[in-house]
Amino acid sequence: MRDKLSDPDYEGGNLALQSGASEVDRAKYQACQLIAKYQREHGWMQKEVAAKLGVDESRVSDLLRGKIESFTLDRLIGYAEKLHPGLRVQISAA
């Protein structure tokens, strides 16, 4: 398994946020992690998350694996809002 994960062409497993990622990519990754946490805490299958979000299971798979390049930030925030009504997004200057 370790060999598979170290192979850059391997399609499985979760993707980590790259070092030096932009703030937009960091926010997208955090939104994916929030959705993944919701799934874990509720014990939902991917198909249940897909139904709640109104998307295909393949999109949920990408989401849960942290494939942030497949989504825009506003789309990810919209998904997170569906799972967490009242979600607050905060932007602050460094």
- In this predicted model, what pLDDT tens digit does every residue of 17-48 receive, in sequence order? 788 889 999 999 999 999 999 999 999 999 99
Name the architecture of domain 21-81: Orthogonal Bundle (1.10)
Which of 10, 17, 32, 8 lies closest to 83, judged by CA? Answer: 32
Q: Which has more pLDDT, 1 or 62?
A: 62
Instruction: At 78, list the tokens.
Output: 């919209």
Q: Dig out the tokens for 94 from the structure.
A: 């460094």
Residue scoring higher pLDDT (72 or 21):
72
Interacting residues of 12 by C-beta distance below 8 A, sequence separation 6+: 4, 5
Position 87 scores a pLDDT of: 87
The SS3 of residue 69 is helix
